[in-house]
Amino acid sequence: MQQPAPGRRAQQRQQRLAQILGAAEQIFATSGFEGASMAAIAAEAGLPKANLHYYFGTKEALYAALLEDLLRLWLSATDAIRPDSEPAAALEGYIRAKMAWSRSRPHASKLFANEVLRGAPLLAAHLSGGLRALVEEKAAVLRGWMAEGRMAVVEPRHLFFAIWAMTQTYADFDTQIRLVLDVPALGDREFDDGVATVLRLVLGGCFADSARQHG
């Protein structure tokens, strides 16, 4: 392991970055920006604190890097909603994707929640820029379907708010759900029930006739 394999430096750099980002996501998610300490993140990553500063400069820059990655994921989830999609299938796909995301990346979801709760100081520009444009675009698709009578008339943007809220609650509020359901952790059963419930509400609300098939 001593020979200077070419690119060893770059490779280790990537590993360290991932190590730090992973630890930071977890700590920031459960403690919030202010509550998290660089020392705690360093401990979680198994690195000296000064090393984090070497790679990211400041705590805020590290936090911002996480949010950047995060938002890219967030925005890409709506891909299934396109004018040529079948409306119910498109919404179902979107809900399933969001729900899967809540399950696989709960820390990321909590991080996002924390940031928005704080008033989104670092995300405001993205929210009123990229996200607004995306929502506007997808809302137009839904309005098209409504005009064609292929789905019920709802304010499309509020429909998105509802879907976001219901799906992300399984990540953000997992503690509450866990305690109310009296289970040690959310597993297959809880997520299946969650998906079924969200699908029923959304499909029932947007495609009243077909709703009864989803019980």
Select the binding partner of residue 175 from a second copy, DNA, none (C-beta < 5 to 8 A, by kind): a second copy
Long-range (24+ apart) CB contacts under 8 A made by 133-140 are 134/75, 134/78, 135/160, 138/78, 138/81
Give the interface size with a second copy as a residue count (CB under 8 A). 63
In the bound state with a second copy, the residue whose beta carbon lies nearer, of 6 and 215, is: 215
Angle value at C-alpha 125, between 123 and 131, nearest 5 degrees: 80
In the bound state with DNA, the residue whose beta carbon lies nearer, of 12 and 210, is: 12
Query: Could you tell me the smallest distance in angstroms from the CB atom of residue 144 to DNA?
Result: 47
Phi, psi of 114 (to 5 degrees): -55, -45
How many CB atoms are closer than 10 A to CB 15? 10
- Which residue do the tokens 């993205």 mark? 126
Select the binding partner of residue 39 from DNA, a second copy, none (C-beta < 5 to 8 A, by kind): DNA
Among positions 136-195, residues that touch a second copy (CB under 8 A) are 152-155, 157-162, 164-166, 168-170, 172-173, 175-177, 179-182, 193-194
Query: Could you tell me the smallest distance in angstroms from the CB atom of residue 16 to a second copy?
Result: 27
Helix runs in the chain, H state only: 8-35, 38-45, 49-56, 59-76, 87-104, 106-117, 124-126, 132-147, 156-172, 174-181, 188-206
Q: Is 200 in the site for a second copy (CB under 8 A)?
A: yes
Sole window of 50-58, 95-103, 165-173, 175-183 interacting with DNA (rule: CB under 7 A): 50-58
Query: Could you tell me the smallest distance in angstroms from the CB atom of residue 54 to a second copy?
Result: 25
Query: Could you tell me the smallest distance in angstroms from the CB atom of residue 121 to DNA?
Result: 14
**Among residues 204, 215, 209, 182, which one has the least CA distance to residue 91?**
204
48 secondary structure, DSSP code: -
Q: How far apart are CA 94 and CA 81, in angstroms?
A: 7
In the bound state with a second copy, the residue whose beta carbon lies nearer, of 21 and 40, is: 40
Site for DNA, rule CB under 7 A: 2, 4-10, 12-13, 16, 36-40, 47-51, 53-55, 57-60
